[in-house]
A and B are shown apart, each in its own frame.
Chain A
Amino acid sequence: MSKRGITLYLHVHQPHRVRDYSVFDTAVDHNYFNDSDPLSGTNNERIFHKVADKSYRPMNALLQKLLDAHPEFKVSLSITGTFIEQAEAWAPDVIESFRNLINTGRVEIVSETYYHSLAFFYSQTEFEAQVEAHKNKIRELFGVETSVFRNTELAYNDALAQWADQYGFKGILAEGWDPILDWRTPNFVYQPEGTENISLLLKNYKLSDDLAFRFSNRDWSEWPLTTDKYLEWMGSSYDQPLINLFMDYETFGEHQWADTGIFDFFEEFVSRWLSDENHTFYTVSDAIDKNKKVGTISMPATVTWADAERDLTAWMGNSMQQEALKHLYALEKDILRSADLELIADWRKLQTSDHAYYMCTKWFTDGDVHAYFSPYSSPYDAFLYYMNAIRDVRWRLHAHHNTGGLSG
């Protein structure tokens, strides 16, 4: 029997936030994403520098240290194209530190849409174009191939798995959500419904969210989380081969600040886990290669890793979000036909799911305001600025390429 392994998968992402783009900018100033105000919450450069200092630099240093110290330590990363563009522009050393990690041969890059978009739900061709763009970017920058897929926000359904299977991916990631799993656990490899070769890895959300969401929460009955306690919880599933810890990379240093002890906790936890010779770490590909599929899982309806509902309502739940996305994707044909690379890039940057997330009004009803982060003073502001940007994209098409009308 193979060793019991943790599949640690971290998601690295920054969106191009839309600045306070008013009706007075529309059709006049085509800069949506560069906010020069040093105090603004939509100044992407400022935010990137802040998160780089708090998270990317210290966490990459820690990952490098762990890789150097422990031959068994492995990690998988998904790094969005929008993150890479910002890092290349403002923090090339961060790109370099990722390259060093990858060069150890024990860091796998996971495939996804370049623009961290919800294109799968709107346009198959656009979706595939973004998957290819991401593959190319990763190959060009890091010299590696991707073979396991994750969709934006871990938004998953059977149709997506079937697509990924046909596309040639060996694995795909999803949330290990109890109502779907029923009596089963996420700690095995499964096969998605209606597929031939692909394997499904499911997030152990309890153990993942203990770090990602609860680690510093003093109202949590288990606070403070110690490595003793965490290892003990992991031990309760001793007879199961995998523990899939999937979370945002920014958990380390940004969502949980350094002063919460998250870095020290993580370092100690990795060492202690590996001190047992029956324990190891897997990359997502290793986890699939080393373990047999134990059954089939079906998720006809879309499941995500967000909120208590685990659905897409945080992105597509209200009419503002639906309108905005409708008008965005309606431009696809004309945009692509324009062959205007800047315009296409701007349109694609507007597809990043974060924009729709900022328009979410769910927390008004469930009172869970603190679970949401937005750089705007309200979801209504987010919607107005975004719609104005879409109108400007439409105006550029019209004015410079004589295509499309101004009506949505």
Chain B
Amino acid sequence: MLGWELPPHNSGGLGVACYHLAKALALQGTTIDFVVPYSAKHENIDFMNIYNATKLSPLERYGLGAYDSKFLIDKKDATELGGLKNIRDVQRHYTRYIERHIETKNPTYDAIHAHDWLTMEAGMRAKELTDAPLIVHVHSTEFDRSGGGHGNPLAREIEYQGMIMADRILAVSEVTKRIIVEQYGIPADKVEVVYNAIDTTSFDDGYEYDRHTYRYLESLKEEGYTVISAVTRLTIQKGLSNLLYAVAKASSKYDRIALLLAGDGEQRDELISMAADLGIADKVFFTGFVRGKQWRDAYSVSDIFVLSSISEPFGLTALEAAHHDTALILTKQSGVAEVLHSIFTYDFWDVDRLADQIVGIATSHALQSSLKKNIMHEYARLSWDDVAIQLVGMYSTVQKRSVVPV
């Protein structure tokens, strides 16, 4: 399995998904060699073998950007990083590592499973060298990351080649499958939808919400305020300016609302001044990047969680929010909306509708509590074990197909 990150060295949902996927597969009896592009300990992982493709620290790999191909040119001194000055260098190094690994160890793999564009070149090379079928798992495309635009042509080209060379493509949602078919011209029958899931046991670590971290917001709630949140990277893909417009609009109808933006990103400054321009700076709270308790408390303090993405392949945060007892509003362009029912949805550009939904939930206790209650029954059904069973079945069919003589 070729990946770019695993917890706790992840900068987002990709690492979380890979971790749970691999863990559930191992439970089904699959043996996994997982390659990451950095060197670090993963003390919480004993169910698979982890290989480190470079000597970079996870932090340096963060700096190079796990998601954002705009970080292609990094300003850091190349010699400091052993000649790996940008993400392309790391990718090349990663691919060479895979080549050496296969040449020296001569392993027999039943399948090569590569996650996202970052590892697709290595995946193609591994397929070439081992003759094992290549499965390309698409968690996000360059189309998504650029907020629905063309994005970086190089990343797009790698994605295209990877998907052409793949024996099977996995998309994390119908939304993503449609992008793969429409934007990349891949035949639909080559693409299978495999939804992400949530491992609720991973939340059982003795966490209890104590109303202390966001004490001012808790005071606002005592005053009758409704707290809306987004836990996200502050980046164009996430559609946060529309969320701000909607909150401003909703405030003009009903002013007891506050917005918590938990996360960081290149759009932060723009959003701060936009909130001031809209006259709602006082209602918007920026936390910066949060982890651990502050991260979970960001969900817990919220009444409403909004996933405002312009294009969201899946959107694991919505399930995490649901676990912490929030009402969900998701864009129709978010994959996770396909597997949930007790939610509000809106088109990412439809500010009026979002504002309307916010005011509706904020002003109706009955609506808010039934949304929270009903989603509880839904999200937990999405199990990684089911995903693993689906994948094991798929591995065996691609294998059979690949032994057909050419």
| B residues less than 8 Å from A378 (CB atoms) | 269
Smallest Cβ distance from A195 to chain B, in angstroms?
A: 37
- Residue on A with the closest CB to B212? A28
Query: By the criterion CB–CB under 8 Å, are B215 and A28 in contact?
Result: yes
Contacts of A395 in B (CB 8 A): 215-216, 219
**CB atoms of A319 and B219 under 8 A apart:** no
Stretch in contact with the other chain, from A69-77, A126-134, A383-391: A383-391
Q: Is the interface of B mostly helix, strand, loop or mixed?
A: helix
Nearest A residue to B286, CB-CB? A384
B288 touches A22 (CB 8 A): yes
Binds A, one of B238-246, B274-282, B322-330, B383-391: B274-282
A27 at the interface (CB under 8 A from B): yes
Q: Which of A289-347 contact B (CB under 8 A)?
A: 318-320, 322-324, 327
Among the stretches A138-146, A212-220, A266-274, A399-407, the one at the interface with B is A399-407
Q: How far is the CB of B275 from chain A (nearest CB, A)?
A: 8
Enumerate chain B residues within 8 angstroms of A392, measured Cβ to Cβ: 216
Report Cα–Cα, A407/B363, bound state, in Å: 17
Answer whether A27 and B282 are a contact pair too, CB < 8 Å, given A22-B287, A319-B276, A383-B276. Answer: no
Residues on the B chain within 8 Å of A384, using CB: 272, 286
Structural contact, B277 and A26, CB atoms closer than 8 A: no
| Complex: A28 Cα to B212 Cα, angstroms | 8
Question: What does the 1/0 interface line of B282-295 toward A look like (CB < 8 Å)?
Answer: 11011110000010
- Report whether B281 and A323 are in contact in the complex, using a CB–CB cutoff of 8 Å: yes
Q: State whether A323 touches B279 (Cβ < 8 A).
A: yes
- A361 at the binding interface (Cβ < 8 Å): yes
Residues of the B chain whose Cβ atoms lie less than 8 Å from the Cβ of A27: 215-216, 218-219
A interface, over-half SS: helix
Whether A408 sits at the interface, judged by CB under 8 Å, is yes
- CB B303 to nearest CB in A, in angstroms, measures 16
- Indicate if the CB atoms of B273 and A23 lie closer than 8 Å: no
Q: Is the C-beta of B256 less than 8 angstroms from some C-beta in chain A? A: yes
Interface size class of A (residues with CB under 8 A): 20 to 34
Q: Smallest CB-CB separation from B220: which chain A residue?
A: A406
> CA–CA, A391 to B215, complex, Å?
11
Closest to B255 in A: A407
List B contacts of A24 (CB < 8 A): 213-214, 287, 294
B353 on interface, CB distance cutoff 8 Å: no
Report if B178 contacts A (CB, 8 A). no
Q: Which of A319, A380, A407 contacts B269 (CB 8 A)?
A: A380
Closest A residue to B282 by CB, please name it. A408
What is the bound-complex CA distance between A159 and B354, given in angstroms? 47
Contact of B276 among A323, A391, A405, A406 (CB under 8 A): A323
Determine the distance from Cα of A22 to Cα of B294 in the docked complex, in whole angstroms.
12
Tell me whether B216 and A383 are in contact (CB under 8 A).
no
Contact between chains at B276 and A23 (CB < 8 Å): no
Contact B213 A319 (CB under 8 A): no
Interface size on B, residues (CB 8 A): 27
* Residues A23 and B286 in contact, CB atoms below 8 Å apart: yes
A138: min CB distance to chain B, Å: 36
Which chain A residues border B272 with CB–CB below 8 Å?
320, 380, 383-384
Let me know if A13 is at the binding interface, CB within 8 A. Answer: no
Residue B223 lies at the interface, judged by CB distance under 8 Å to chain A: yes
Return the contact of A398 from the options B218, B219, B256, B276 (Cβ within 8 A).
B219
**Chain B residues closer than 8 Å to A327, beta-carbon distance:** 282
Within the assembled complex, what's the spacing in Å between the Cα atoms of A407 and B220? Answer: 8
Which of these, B215, B223, B256, contacts A26 with CB under 8 Å?
A: B215
B226 to chain A, nearest CB (A): 12
B299 to chain A, nearest CB (A): 15
Question: Closest residue of chain A to B284, judged by CB?
Answer: A387
B268 at the interface (CB under 8 A from A): yes
Q: Considering only CB atoms, which chain A residue lies closest to B280 in the complex?
A: A323
Q: Is there contact, CB below 8 Å, between A323 and B223?
A: no
A-side contacts of B273, CB under 8 Å: 318-320, 361, 380
**Which residues from chain B contact A406 at a C-beta distance below 8 Å?**
216, 219-220, 223, 225
Is the CB–CB distance between A380 and B268 below 8 Å? Answer: yes
| A26 to B212 Cα, complex, angstroms | 10
- A406→B268 CA distance, assembly (Å): 25
Question: What would 26 A/B residue contacts be, using CB atoms closer than 8 Å?
Answer: A22-B287, A23-B285, A24-B213, A24-B214, A26-B215, A27-B218, A28-B212, A319-B276, A320-B281, A322-B276, A323-B279, A323-B282, A380-B273, A383-B276, A384-B286, A392-B216, A395-B215, A395-B219, A405-B223, A406-B216, A406-B220, A407-B220, A407-B223, A407-B225, A408-B282, A408-B283
B-to-A contact residues, CB < 8 Å = 212-216, 218-220, 223, 225, 255-256, 268-269, 272-273, 276-277, 279, 281-283, 285-288, 294
Residues of A within 8 A of B (CB): 22-24, 26-28, 318-320, 322-324, 327, 361, 378, 380, 383-384, 387, 390-392, 395, 398-399, 405-408
Other than A319-B273, A323-B276, A407-B282, give 17 A-B pairs with Cβ distance below 8 A: A22-B287, A23-B216, A24-B213, A24-B287, A319-B277, A378-B269, A380-B268, A383-B276, A383-B281, A384-B286, A391-B216, A395-B219, A405-B223, A407-B256, A407-B283, A408-B282, A408-B283
